[in-house]
Amino acid sequence: MYFDEMGDRKNHTIIMLHGAGLPLGFSRQYSLATEYHLVLPHLYGNGEEASKDYTLDKCVEGVLDIIKSLGKDKITIVGFSIGAQLIIPILCKGEAYFDKAILISPWVCKSEKALKSVVESMNQMGSLMHIKWVAKLQAQMVGMNQNDKERFITYCKNTTKENLIAMVKQGVNIEDYNEYRDLKIPMLVLAGSKENEEIHASVKLLQKLNPEYCKIQILEKHGHDIPYNKSQLFNTILLDFLNHK
C-alpha cells in the first residue's frame, strides 16, 4: 500500500487513515510533522491505489504491513470516516502495535435505510468528483496546498464509483468485532454535533462496549468535517490526547 510520509522517522509515528475518496484529507494536520513522524496511506481504491479494488480485509492487511515495515515499538493511529471504521479491525488484529487511537466520525451502527442512502450519495459523488471544478472546490475546502490540489484532481479522475460504493457496503459493523470490548489501549472517539443520528449512536456504543479505555467528545458546530473545519481545534485535541499520560 502506497503512503505519503512527513517528518523525522526518529520521532513518534502517527498513521492517519483518510475518508472515502479523500486521500489527502489530512492536509491541515501536516504541521504536526515538525514534532511527529506522519504516515498517510492511500487506502485501496483511492489516490495512488485507485486502480486496485477496495476490500476491507485487504486494506486492514495493507495498513498493518506498513506499520510492521516501520519497525516501531508503538505508534498512534488516527482515522476519519471510513478510516475511523478501519481502526476497529486493525486494532482487533494488531493491538500490540499501538499506544493510542483517535476515531473521527466512525459509522459502525448502520441501518439498511441509511446504507441505501449513502450508497446513492457515493454513486453521485463518483460522477461529480470527475468534474475538475468540483475536485478543485473540495481540495480548497480541505485546505490542500497547490501540489496536493494538483495531485487530488488527478486522483479524482481515477476514482471509480464501484470503489466508493464498496467502501460503504464493506464498512465496519461493530457487532462483528467482539474483540473490541477487550482492547486495552486509550481511544478517543470524536463526532460533530451536526452529524447524523447513526454516527452519534456509533460513538456512544463504542464507549459503552469499552468504557474503561474509550472516551468520547462531541464537537459543537461541526458536521462530517472535523479534520479540516476549524482544524486548529482538532489539532489541539489530538496533541492533548497524545501528551496525556
- Interior/surface letters 155-182, b for 16+ CB within 10 angstroms, e for the rest: bbebbbbebbbbbbeebbebeebeebee
pLDDT confidence of residue 230: 81
pLDDT confidence of residue 50: 95
pLDDT confidence of residue 244: 83
Q: Give the C-alpha separation, 149 to 160, whole Å.
A: 19
**So what CATH class is 3-110+172-243?**
alpha beta
Helices of type H across the chain: 56-70, 82-94, 112-128, 132-142, 146-158, 161-169, 197-209, 231-243
**pLDDT values of the chain reduced to their tens digit, one per residue, 245 residues:** 999 999 999 999 999 999 999 999 999 999 999 999 999 999 999 999 999 999 999 999 999 999 999 999 899 999 999 999 999 999 999 999 999 999 999 999 999 999 899 999 988 988 899 999 999 999 999 999 999 999 999 999 999 999 999 999 999 999 999 999 999 999 999 999 999 999 999 999 999 999 999 999 999 989 999 999 889 999 999 999 999 86
